[in-house]
Amino acid sequence: MIRTWLATIRETKNKSQEEVAEEAGITRQYYGMIESGQRNPSVRAAQSIGKALDFNWTLFFEQESNEMLPINNNAENHIRKEVG
């Protein structure tokens, strides 16, 4: 399952995968696998990515049936998550 919501957040912040990975303290390859859905992040990686992109890291662990998820702690914006 591709995490289009994650790519959308990253692109909205005008950051490359490499920039996010560096800020999160992980490799660009690992971040790319997380964003593409090939790997699930550890809790620590999820927290670091959430901090780097300013969103609630628990989005990584939300149930697939949730159609709309907040992308920041203020819940000002919402994005549509693909239901797989």
Show the domain range for 74: 4-80
Q: Report DSSP state, residue 65.
A: T
Q: Please give the pLDDT value at position 23.
A: 98
Q: What would the two tokens of residue 43 be?
A: 């809790």
Q: Residue 82: its pLDDT value, please?
A: 36
pTM value is 0.73
Q: What is the pLDDT of residue 49?
A: 97
Distance CA 62, CA 60 (A): 6
Average pLDDT over residues 36-41: 91
Count of domains in the chain?
1
Phi, psi of 75 (to 5 degrees): 55, 30
Check if the beta carbon of residue 34 is closer than 8 Å to that of residue 41: yes
SS3 label, residue 69 = strand
Q: Which residues of 1-19 are buried (b: 16+ CB within 10 A; e: fewer)?
A: eebebbeebbeeeebebee
CATH assignment at residue 17: 1.10.260.40
